[in-house]
Structure 1
Amino acid sequence: MANHPIKDWRLSRGLTQTELGDAIGVTKAAVSRYEQGIAPSWAVQVEIFEFTEGAVTPNDWLPRREIAL
């Protein structure tokens, strides 16, 4: 299974979960849950969107469906 976009974004910037959490106002444990695909509250999704300058969006927590070709 691939990483969640928020984890990829965080790692590409060399941030720890604690640093990201501090920046968006949540705990390290909360960041860990978000990276596992558990959706944060709408307010936190907006904080993440703004902090990542749109690189991570609320749509990233929507369920993915495989499409057979």
Structure 2
Amino acid sequence: MEKNEEYCDFSNVQSQRDMLAIEDLPEGPYGSPFGKDEPVRNKSSEWRKGQHFYSAFKNDFPSPQEHGKVDK
């Protein structure tokens, strides 16, 4: 391996940095009085370029009908 080779992360490491998991209960356990009078905050640190929330229930390959792009 040459000393001039540039290091880069694997694609799964880059994905973990960019795709943030959505919390199930961001406001705490059901019925918890903690933070009752404050709005829910989903992220405490600054946003980095390319970061976004990812949900397992989102369709990664939506059909044209879901986008409203149906040829008639």
TM-score by length of 2: 0.23
**Relative CO higher for 1 or 2, CA cutoff 8 Å, sep ≥ 6?**
2
TM-score by length of 1: 0.23
